[in-house]
Amino acid sequence: MKKIIVILTLLVTTVSFSQTKLYVHKDADNYVANTKTIAILPMKVKIKLRPKQMKNFTPEQMVEMGKEESLDIQKAMHTWFLTRKKRGTLLVDVQIPTRTNALLKKAGIDIHSYDEYLPSELGEILGVETIITGNYETSKPMSEGVAVGVAVLFGAFVSTNTAVMNMDFMSTTDDELVVNYNKKVRGSLGSDSQDLVNILMRKVSRRIPYTK
């Protein structure tokens, strides 16, 4: 019984690849010093399923699944930032996602499609000095996690969730890119978007000027 528990524990553990790319603006410290609040916008999410899995979903369902995943990631990132703020390691405030999304919608902006707007335009609407945008690619949406867990308990194949995040910290004062962080991680059974986001953010926190 102990061996089974150990095996299951190992299966739910998330491990990370060392594939990381980081860009930090030469004047990043000045940008941070002039930032009071950051806003996290919904990521552009792409879900890459296997051909057999794709047959179970319509294109419309895939789009909706990506939007749901995007909101989950936004919440997970906000939770992560709040935790760091309480610990005193985050140098700025972070806007609540519900406020971010509500303000964008009131301005007539699709929260999942804002590419035609400059960071400065979005910043004026949101009342923040920095926005976080980016892309997130995953091979397993959160909604599949429970099904995979059940399958493993009955001896089925263990699926792996690979995620790639390309995240931008954009200044809303002059539309400059302050930080770009690109990271690839792999999570084994039991990992969901929040698990992977926690790993990604834990890695980036050591190297960005918004934390200490």
Q: What is the mean pLDDT of the chain?
A: 80
Which residue ranges make up each domain of the chain?
Answer: 16-205
Give the CB-side neighbour count of residue 162, counting CA atoms within 13 A: 8
Q: Above 50 in pLDDT, residue 70? A: yes
Q: Please, which pLDDT band fits residue 148 given cuts at 50, 70 and 90? A: very low
Which residue, among 82, 114, 113, has the nearest Cα to 96 in the 3D structure? Answer: 82
Contacts 24+ apart (CB under 8 A), 111-117: 111/41, 111/42, 112/42, 112/44, 112/67, 112/70, 114/41
How far apart are the C-alpha atoms of 138 and 123, rounded to whole Å?
Answer: 28
3 state DSSP class of 49:
coil
3 state DSSP class of 115:
coil
Per-residue pLDDT of 36-57, as tens digits, reads: 999 999 999 988 777 776 777 7
* Residue 158: count of CB within 10 angstroms of its CB: 12
* Domain 16-205: assigned CATH number: 3.40.50.10610
- Residue pair 154/130 in contact (Cβ under 8 Å)? The answer is no
Per-residue pLDDT of 158-205, as tens digits, reads: 455 677 889 999 999 999 999 999 988 776 544 566 677 777 777 776
Q: Please, which pLDDT band fits residue 4 given cuts at 50, 70 and 90? A: very low
- Side chain identity at residue 114, one-letter code: Y
